[in-house]
Amino acid sequence: MLIGGLSQAGPSMLAAFFASLVEGVEALTIVLAVGSTRGWRGALGGSFAALVTLLVIVAILGRALTLIPLDVIQAGIGVLLLLFGLRWLRKAILRAAGSIPLREENEVFVRQTNTLRRPGRAGSGDDGPWGDRLGFATSFQATMLEGIEVVFIVVAIGAGKSGLLLPAGLGAVAALLAVIVLGIAVRRPLSAVPENTLKFVVGCLLSAFGTFWVGEGIGVRWPGADWAMIGLIVGFLAVASVSVRFCRERARSVLRESGDVLS
C-alpha cells in the first residue's frame, strides 16, 4: 500500500516542483527587472500581494472540489492536465528540434528593463504605500499570471486522488523556495536553468497524469493500477524524444529542398 502510494506521490511532487520552478523563473525575471529599475519595495510588494491572492484561490478551489463526485473530477482534471501538458510538450519539442527559438531569460530581462526604465529615479511622484505604483502593478501581474497556472496544475494533480494534494503542494512550495533563494543569491535572470529541458519533462509528467486521470474517470482499469503512471511517463518521454528527432530531420529536409530550389 505504501509503495503504491509512492508510485503516485513521487511523480505528483516532481510534476508540481518542475512546473512551479519553470513558472517561478519566468516570474522572477520580470520581478528582478522591476526591482532594478523601479525600486525593490514595489517589486517585492507586488509579488507578495499576488502570492497572498493565490493562496486564497487555492483555498477556495480546494474546498469547492470536495463537493464534486470523484469520477467527474478525475475526468475533468485529466483533460485539464492534458491541455497543459501537451501544450508545454509541443513547444518543448519544437524548441529542442530548433523549429522555434529557445526562450532566453536574459533577453526577457533586458526587454522588461528597457520598458520600465524612465528618466529620474523610482519614487519621484508615483509612489504609493507599497512603493512605486507601476513597479507594484507589473510585479503583481507577472506573479499572478505565472502563479495561476501553477495553482491550477497543483490543484489538478491533488484533486485526482485522495492524498495527492499534500505532495503536490510540497513540490510547489519547494520550487518557490528554490526560486527565492536563487533570486536573492544572483539577483539576475536564472539563464543557467535549462528551462526547455524542464518544460520537456513537465510536459511528459502532466500529459501522463492527464491520461491516467481521464482513464480513471471513465472507468479504465489500468494494468498495474497506480504503477501504470510510471509506464505512461516513460511512454510520453519516448514518444517526445522520437518527435524531436523527427522534427529535426524534417526541418533539415525542408532546408535542403529550399537550397535545391534556390540553386
Of 237, 234, 200, the closest CA to residue 92 belongs to: 200
pLDDT tier, 238 (very low <50, low <70, confident <90, very high otherwise): very high
Are 100 and 118 in contact by the 8 Å Cβ rule? The answer is no
Read off the pLDDT of each residue in 240-246 and give the average, rounded to a whole number: 89
Q: Give the Cα separation of 255 and 262 in Å (integer).
A: 11
Cell output for 104: 532566453
Q: Which residues pair with 127 in a beta bridge?
A: 132
CA angle, residues 13, 19, 25, in degrees to nearest 5: 125
pLDDT tier, 4 (very low <50, low <70, confident <90, very high otherwise): very low
Read off the pLDDT of each residue in 224-236 and give the average, rounded to a whole number: 83
Read off the pLDDT of each residue in 46-60 and give the average, rounded to a whole number: 84
Q: Which residue has the cell 519547494?
A: 174
Read off the pLDDT of each residue in 144-168 and give the average, rounded to a whole number: 75
Q: What is the pLDDT of residues 90-106, one digit of tens each?
A: 888 888 887 777 666 56
Print the SS3 string covering the chain. CHHHHHHHHHHHHHHHHHHHHHHHHHHHHHHHHHHHHHCHHHHHHHHHHHHHHHHHHHHHHHHHHCCCCHHHHHHHHHHHHHHHHHHHHHHHHHHHCCCCCCCCHHHHHHHHHHHHCCCCCCCCCCEECCEEHHHHHHHHHHHHHHHHHHHHHHHHHHHCCCCCHHHHHHHHHHHHHHHHHHHHHHCCCCCCCCHHHHHHHHHHHHHHHHHHHHHHHCCCCCCCHHHHHHHHHHHHHHHHHHHHHHHHHHHHHHHHHHHHHHC
Are 38 and 134 in contact by the 8 Å Cβ rule? The answer is yes
pLDDT of 262: 46
Region of 20 on the Ramachandran plot (φ > 0 left; ψ -120 to 50 alpha; else beta): alpha
Are 45 and 130 in contact by the 8 Å Cβ rule? The answer is yes
Which are the contacts of 173, defined by CB distance < 8 A and separation ≥ 6?
Answer: none
